[in-house]
Chains A and B, each alone.
Chain A
Amino acid sequence: MFEQLRFANDFLRRFETGYARWAQALCAPFQESLGKIEREERGLKLLREWLSPEQLAQYDANNYFDVIGSHTRKRYRIYHGIAANVLEFDNAGRRHAGWCFVPDAHLVAGDVMLAQKIVLETDERGALTVARKFL
């Protein structure tokens, strides 16, 4: 009788451990997705806090916003994205060039766009010095 109880107890313990591992493996991809969504949302919240009212309205409507370069006063358009997402426009409003410059770290889109905005608005020449032209 004692042996039977011990066997049942061991069986239940093994089942419990196995079930927990199975459930963990099953949920892992969903937890990762949730984490990614949270990180993306946090980045976008920060971006929205730093955009001017005009930029925010433009971003909400079009998924991009314009900034004015600190040195040349040229207009740049920052599209939602993490790379190759900055376009320069000429005085006639035509697309003039594309610029790719990103933070030297793995960041979410909101953070990347905010860093690009701040650098263009405060140190345009510095940004273009490191940027790669793609158009």
Chain B
Amino acid sequence: MAIQIVMDHTGDTRHHFDANDTRALLKAEERFRELTGLGFTAAVRTASGEAAVRRTFDPTAEETLFFPRLVGG
């Protein structure tokens, strides 16, 4: 099962989906577009464990983390 994790006021909200299920994959892609359209940054972890930002939906990503845009404090 793949997962999309969205940071929010509750800590985070997790969306699990089966990457082999076309409908679930489309829904995950839609969520990706919606969140990045709202200004969220999408990040994945590479095989070496480093974080990498994704500008487009990666259907092979096991885990994608979304966090809101950063602003000066």
Beta-carbon contact of B39 and A104 below 8 Å: yes
Interface residues of B in 35-55 (CB under 8 A from A): 39, 41, 43, 45, 49-53
Beta-carbon contact of A107 and B51 below 8 Å: no
- One digit per residue, 1 when the CB lies within 8 angstroms of any chain B CB and 0 when it does not, for chain A 35-65 equals 0001111110010001010000000000000
Give the size category of B's interface with A: 20 to 34
Majority SS at the chain B contact face:
strand
Chain B residue contacts of A101, Cβ below 8 A? 70-73
Majority SS at the chain A contact face:
helix
Can you name 19 A-B residue pairings with CB atoms under 8 Å?
Answer: A41-B11, A50-B45, A52-B49, A100-B73, A101-B71, A102-B70, A102-B71, A103-B69, A104-B68, A106-B9, A111-B11, A114-B7, A115-B41, A118-B43, A119-B41, A122-B43, A122-B51, A127-B70, A130-B70
